[in-house]
Structure 1
Amino acid sequence: MSKIAPILKSLSRQAPTKVTAQHTTAAALRALHTTSPARNAAVGQRHLLPEFSMKDKVVVVSGGARGLGLVQIEALLEAGAKGGDSKPARYQFFKALTNPKKIVHAIDRLPSPETDPASSFSHVAKRAREELGASLTYHQVDVRDVPQLNKVFEGIADETGRLDGLIAAAGINQETPALEYTAEDADRMMSINFTGCFMTAQAAARQMIRLKQPGSICLIASMSATIANKGMIAPVYNPSKAAVAQLGRNLASEWGQYGIRVNTLSPGYILTQMLRNLFNDYPERETKWPQENMLNRISNPEEYRGAAIFLLSDASSFMTGSDLRIDGGHASW
């Protein structure tokens, strides 16, 4: 016991503070997911487990012009472009120009993804084209415009001859006290967050069934589907995400017979531009919200890259009707 005590005492003196741990985690994530020549070269050399590969897949991401949707697009492109391919970089660049093996289509309501100054869509599209042997195409579609939504999905399926996956990430929030919410605002929220998500999944499933193509659909729900967030006024947003979570289970039960898997992903608070704008309006939340989860920090969009690959790839081939919650333990208190 006398030999162990000094060691424990030494370790306790060396334990990092919470602030240090948070800063270390954030810095590590930035380094891991920052585009650089060294990192880009590593993408071409690392070998993925085959069941995580998205090579030759065609995927659509709604809400893909920015934020979480765009981060997941880049992850999908990386997972499908060069994983496990040991050919020289020069050949890989040629292949990127002549024979794309990974196709991602982004849909969003913005006239152009560059309408949002915070969006890095053009950068991701350039990486797809020049480095990753892939293609990224943008379509302006409002998920409430069902005829146009179906037209876009049908066009993608006809052009590529397949449709392997969907991430339905389009959604909005409006903070208004329940006593002040209008029926029109509530209908607008539900029409985008729930009905729009439903119609997007329906459009994808119709093409998968038409092509007799098994596929995977990931609906973006939220930890807010199961909790009332402290300090956030969300009498419609939270129910809309609860509806998405239930939608995923019901679609899974109907479409499993066609080989279509449907799951939901429920993130915690994510440090997107939308959240930064919210912190400008409510600065106290920037301090309070990290304390509400077990890791004492807000998540970064890059921390959901692996979840997107897992849910859309064969790595989750026996998973359907499930919810993957990634919230730093927020809802587990």
Structure 2
Amino acid sequence: MAISRVFTRASFRALAQRATLAPARQTPIPSRAFTASQQAQQTRGPPSPPSDDTADPAQAYLGTTKRLPEFNLTKKVVLVTGAARGLGLVQAEALLEAGATVYALDRLSEPSELFAPIAERAAKELGTSLHYTQIDTRDVAALHAIIADIGAKEGRMDGLIAAAGIQQETPALEYSAEDANRMFQVNITGTMMTAQAVAKQMIKFGNGGSMAFIASMSGSVANRGLICSAYNASKAGVIQLGRNLASEWGEHGIRVNTISPGYIVTQMVEELFKEYPERRETWPTQNMLGKLSKPEEYRGAAVFLLSDASSFMTGADLRIDGGHTAW
């Protein structure tokens, strides 16, 4: 029940007299007092990056060391598997823009034609570097050796984006054991062995770190009209793997989360649309935004999960599916 207070003219006069006689209250000084330049910045907008040619490019680029510093990845070393093309390469570029040194691992002998321009931009504009190594995550001995070499070279290991994975659309009645095992070996075992190798380096250097595994909304639901039981089971395994590794490695300061994208239009999906053109029309109707996603729409998630911006987040699945699974 609301309580109202009625003021008479006399009470108003009394209040005015009391305000005149009462000593002025001291306004607390904030812990970070504005300087004159900061006050000017409020009226002029954000400052321009330093123009001094001797300035560190990583500090100059977008002012990342001064703006939202918890997203800053400068001097961090991050591995991205499946980064020769597609979603993995897009996320690698986002990490570079946040300041990280990025090592891209993929089974392709050569990365896509988009890789070289990104590597050049990293060196010339971003003050960091992008490296490429060919490796199939099923070759566990070679995988561990490569990751150990990176750790020895850089003297640290800070992050992992595990984006390597395969897909096969086959009716369950026709799936061979060989095909199913290959799916699980790449998508689950490959992710686990990569995470294991990276975690050993993180523990060795004692700085902790953060990992993000690319799962899928298909790890939580069955996709209507998409016949891929082994793939969906593998992505459910990736989500559960992330939770369990988070529970084991939290004591070492290592965070492990997963990202579950919705339908992404990649080069591979474009080829799929040629075989099933109706999916280009029906898939967008199955989510709340009525559209399909682009690889670029997952850039922020990668930086968020690998940076201090998510420092109290582990064992979680970040579902980014346009509301597909929220119906």
**TM-score of Structure 1 vs Structure 2, range by shorter chain:** 0.7 to 0.9
* Residue in 2 that maps onto 1:65: 84
Q: Does 1:277 align with 2:271?
A: yes
Task: State the structure with more CA Rg.
Answer: 2
Aligned counterpart for 2:61 among listed residues 31, 44, 54: 44
Q: CA deviation at 1:213?
A: 2.1
Q: If each structure's helix is expressed as a fraction of its own residues, which one has the higher value? A: 1
Aligned residue number for residue 127 of structure 1: 121
The equivalent residue for 2:97 is 78
Counterpart-to-counterpart distance in 2, 1:105 and 1:256: 24
Displacement of 1:112 after TM fit?
Answer: 1.1
2:205 counterpart of 1:211: yes
Structure 1 residue runs of 5 or longer lacking an equivalent are: 1-39, 81-101
| Aligned partner (choices 56, 60, 73) of residue 75 of structure 2 | 56
What does 1:26-41 align with in structure 2 at a 5 Å threshold? none
Q: Give the superposition deviation at 1:212.
A: 1.2
User: What runs of 5+ residues in structure 2 fail to find an aligned partner?
Assistant: 1-56
Match of 2:109 in 1: 111
User: C-alpha root-mean-square deviation of aligned residues, in Å?
Assistant: 1.2
Corresponding position of 2:309: 315
Provide the secondary structure at the position in 1 that maps to 2:312: coil
State the 1:130 CA deviation. 1.2
When normalised by structure 1's length, the TM-score is 0.79
Question: Which residue is 2:247 aligned to?
Answer: 253
DSSP 3-state at the match of 2:152: helix
Matched with 2:217 is 223
Letter in 1 for 2:163: A
Aligned residue for 1:56, secondary structure, equals coil
Deviates more, 1:45-54 or 1:69-78: 45-54
One-letter identity of the residue aligned with 2:82: G
Q: CA deviation at 1:183?
A: 0.3
- Percent identical pairs in the alignment equals 63
Which residue is 2:162 aligned to?
A: 168
Distance 1:130 1:45 in 2: 14
Tell me the amino acid that sits aligned with residue 208 of structure 2.
P
Once residues 193 and 311 of structure 1 are traced to their aligned partners in structure 2, the CA distance between those partners, rounded to angstroms, is: 20
- What is the one-letter code of the residue matched to 1:106? A
How much has 1:44 moved relative to structure 2? 2.4
The equivalent residue for 2:45 is none
Query: SS state of the match for residue 283, structure 1?
Result: coil
How far apart are the structure 2 equivalents of 1:252 and 1:271?
30
Aligned counterparts of 1:49 and 1:64: Cα–Cα separation in 2:
26
Q: Aligned partner of 2:134: which letter?
A: Q
* Counterpart residue identity of residue 44, structure 1: Y
Residue 86 of structure 1 corresponds to which residue in structure 2? none
1:264 match: secondary structure: strand
Normalising by the residue count of structure 2, what TM-score does the alignment of the two structures yield?
0.80
Partner of residue 138 from structure 2, selected from 144, 149, 157: 144
Structure 1 residue runs of 4+, over 2 Å off? 43-48
The alpha carbon displacement at 1:46 in A equals 4.6
Pairing 1:178–2:197 present: no
What is the CA-CA distance between 1:45 and the residue it aligns to?
A: 3.6
Report which structure shows greater RCO (CA 8 Å, sep ≥6): 1
What amino acid is the match of 1:301?
P
Shift of 1:210: 1.3
**CA deviation profile, 1:16-62 (whole Å, cap 9, x unmatched):** xxxxxxxxxxxxxxxxxxxxxxxx9xx82455300011111000000
